Amino acid sequence: MSTTPPPQALTTDPPAGELTENDGALDWLRALGPRGRRAFAGAFGGYALDSYDYFTLPLSMVALAAYFGLDSGQTGLFTTVTLVVSAVGGALAGVVADRVGRVKALMITVITYAVFTVACGFAPNYETLLVFRALQGLGFGGEWAVGAILVAEYASAKHRGRTLGAVQSSWAVGWGLAAIVYTLVFSFADDDLAWRIMFWTGALPALLVIWMRRRVHDAPQAVAVREQSTEKGSFTAIFKPGLLRTTIFAGLLSTGVQGGYYTLATWVPTYLKTERGLSVVGTGGYLTFLISGAFLGYLTGGYLTDRLGRKRNIWLFALLSAVCILAYANIPDGAGGLLLVLGFPLGFCMSAIFSGFGSYLSELYPTAVRGTGQGFTYNTGRAVGAVFPTTVGFLADSWGVGGALVFGAIGYGIAALALFGLPETKGRELA
């Protein structure tokens, strides 16, 4: 039985005229109120651009490897370094969010990942690119956790799962945008220049920060509770007896899910080009099915996490994601149509499992340390899970990329087991 103290009650009554008990498909959005909808837009845009900046690397991986003469282990290290450093950035962003507010912390993370993504485009050698990519991870690591908390503190318990699932779906939007830009850039520019252009387009998030600075604010009730608390965000607080169990198992949950996910996100484009022999345009077509499945998976998973509960939703899609990986990696040669078709359920399942994370991790911690708890557990999982893509990189030389992808299924098994140490939080109000 978990010893996690339940968060204090928080009244989240919307302004007069706002609807909370509608039967419409968008009742969750109406219930947020005007301020909540602006917070949602800021978090949605920030995470979409976070995704866009992240995928500039995997989509450019083949060109980078050729330009710098890299082997699979070295290219896999790009992802590992990004994710390991992002754990530091995410943990620190959580503390900052608890101390200075969610919106200020969100803007800091967006500026950080935008600046260093652009810097990657100017890298003269492998070592410099590795350093810039690592620094990009500082901002990349913090954006999701801070944005998710910002929106979670506006959302009602009834709608929180689908609200945060909608925020999570912006990852697929950014991924899709990156795939479109990749297809265009690599179709019209030489590979040696195209990968640099991809990184330079990472300047887009700066426009979002300008808007957020004037229009987005923290949830007033949560600000009041946070300011009255005598215990501000700190790492020691989430390791005290009342929260220690939660922190350990939430970290394991994050490790398993992200280990499986980043294995696929990093290596599927390379797998399609090197082992399936697809062209740039062909790879983009296959990714369209994968990304479409991901977008619908985020929305569906958000709905199911409110209906089934946080834990059942994660259990369901951990199993289905593992099955999809095994099927996708073992499609026989020449079955290009089957490869295309299976891309949709693969994207759907590996994304639907994430939909409950925003609400679940937010509900596991009280307001004063919510940023710290969510930032630390999510990003510790990201750092440890980063071992998976590198392992695949080294195994790919002997097993082939397709065979090595099976390693990602292990991550989903870890996630399923971690849930036995965590409570169900469906219906829990936040403060």
Measured in degrees and rounded to the nearest 5, phi and psi for residue 18 equal -80, 145
The alpha carbon of residue 214 and the mean position of all alpha carbons in its chain are separated, in whole angstroms, by 26
Phi-psi region of 259 (alpha: psi -120 to 50; beta: other; left: phi over 0): alpha
Output phi, psi for 106, to 5 deg: -65, -45
* CA separation for the pair 9, 11 (Å, rounded): 7
Q: What are phi and psi of 363, to 5 degrees?
A: -80, -15
Q: Whole-angstrom Cα distance, residue 361 to residue 90?
A: 14
Q: Say whether pLDDT at 41 is over 90.
A: yes
Segment among 139-153, 157-171, 252-266 with least mean pLDDT: 252-266
Query: Which of 257, 129, 247 has its CA nearest to residue 199?
Result: 129
Q: Is 43 helix (H, G, I), strand (E, B) or coil?
A: helix
User: What's the residue count for the chain?
Assistant: 431
**Global confidence as pTM:** 0.79
Is the pLDDT at 272 greater than 50? The verdict is yes
pLDDT at 252: 95
| Whether residue 424 has pLDDT greater than 50 | yes
Where does residue 70 rank: exposed (0-12), middle (13-18), buried (19+ CB within 10 A)?
A: middle
Nearest to 272 by CA among 61, 83, 47: 61
Give mean pLDDT, residues 318-336: 76
Tokens linked to 427: 């219906």
How high is the pLDDT of residue 396? 66
The continuous run of DSSP H or E covering 418 comes out as helix 408-418
